[in-house]
Chains A and B, each alone.
Chain A
Amino acid sequence: MIDFGYTPMPITVHNMDKADLSLAKWLAERDETFNHCISCGSCAATCTAGKFTDFSFRELTHSIRRGEISKAFSESEKCMLCGKCILVCPRNVNTRNIVMLIRKANQIFKP
Chain B
Amino acid sequence: MRYPTFTLPFTIGLSFVLLYILVIWTIWIVRLSRREQKIVWKRLFTLRTIKAIWESFREGLLHHNIYKKNAVLGFMHMGLAFGWFMLIVLGNFEARLYPHGVINPPYYPIFFEFFRHDLTPLHEYEEIFTFLMDFFLLLVMTSIGLAFFKRFRSRALGMRRTTKHILIDRVAITALWFIFPLRLFAESVTAGLYNTGHFFTNFLGQWVIYNLPLDYLYYPAWWAYSISLGVFFIALPFSRYMHIPTEILLIFLRKYGVKEKNNHSTFTTIELNACSRCGICIDACQLSTTLNISDTQPAYFLRDLRYSKPNERLRETCMLCMRCLDACPVGIEVTQIRKNERNEFPLFGTSNYDYLSEHKYPKAKVAYFAGCMGHLTPSVIKSTLALFDEAGVDYTFIDKDGSICCGRPLQQNGQVDAAKQLIDKNNTIINETNADVLVTSCPICASEFKHNYRLNMPVLHHSQFLNDLAKQHKLTFKNTGEKIIYHDPCELSRGLGITKEPRELLKNSFILEENKKNTGEKSLCCGGSLGITNTSLPQKMAIASDAVFQLYDGKTNLLATACPMCKKTLAMAQETVKVLDIAEVMLNNLEPKKKKVQSQKEPAEAEVLS
Contacts and interface: CB of A to CB of B under 8 A. Distances in A.
Interface of A: 33, 46, 48-49, 51-53, 55, 77-78, 80-84, 86-89, 92, 94, 96-97, 100, 103-104, 106-107
Given A48-B372, A77-B349, A88-B376, A83 B530 contact: yes
Contact of B410 (A53, A80, A92): A80
A84 B357 contact: no
B538 A52 contact: no
A45 B221 CA distance: 76
B347 A48 contact: no
A20 B415 CA distance: 28
A99 to B, nearest CB: 8
Interface in B529-572: 530, 533-538, 565, 568-569, 572
B19 interface: no
B266 interface: no
Interface residues of B, number: 35
A100 B347 contact: yes
A94 B410 contact: no
A48 B444 CA distance: 15
Interface stretch (B114-122, B400-408, B517-525): B400-408
A100 B533 contact: yes
A52 B356 contact: yes
A52 B537 CA distance: 27
B373 interface: yes
Contacts of B107: none
Contact of B533 (A52, A89, A94): A94
A48 B569 contact: no
B353 interface: yes
Contacts of A100: 347, 413, 533
8 shortest interchain CB distances as A-B pairs: A51-B402, A103-B347, A77-B352, A80-B405, A53-B355, A82-B372, A92-B537, A81-B409
A107 B347 contact: yes
A42 B299 CA distance: 39
8 contacts: A53-B355, A77-B349, A78-B352, A80-B372, A80-B407, A84-B376, A88-B376, A92-B536
Given A52-B357, A92-B538, A80 B347 contact: no
B536 A33 contact: yes
Contacts of A96: 409, 530, 533
Contacts, number: 85
Contacts of A48: 372, 375, 402-405
Nearest to B376: A84
Contacts of A80: 353, 372, 404-405, 407, 409-410, 422
Interface string B366-404: 000000110110000000000000000000000001111
B63 to A, nearest CB: 39
B528 interface: yes
Given A92-B537, A100-B347, A81 B352 contact: no
Contacts of A78: 352-353, 355
Contacts of B407: 80
Contact residues of B: prevailing secondary structure: loop
Nearest to B421: A80
A81 B405 contact: yes
Contacts of B402: 48, 51-52
Contacts of A104: 347
B112 interface: no
B194 interface: no
Given A48-B403, A48-B404, A97-B534, 17 more contacts: A53-B355, A78-B353, A80-B353, A80-B405, A80-B407, A80-B409, A81-B410, A81-B415, A81-B530, A82-B373, A83-B565, A87-B568, A88-B376, A96-B409, A97-B533, A100-B533, A103-B348
Which of B530, B533, B534 has the most chain A CB atoms closer than 10 A to its own CB? B533
A92 B539 CA distance: 10
Interface string B187-212: 00000000000000000000000000
A70 B422 CA distance: 24
Interface in B332-349: 347-349
A87 B534 CA distance: 15
Nearest to B312: A104
Contacts of B372: 48, 80, 82-84
Contacts of B528: 83, 87
Given A80-B405, A94-B536, A87 B572 contact: yes
A82 B572 CA distance: 18
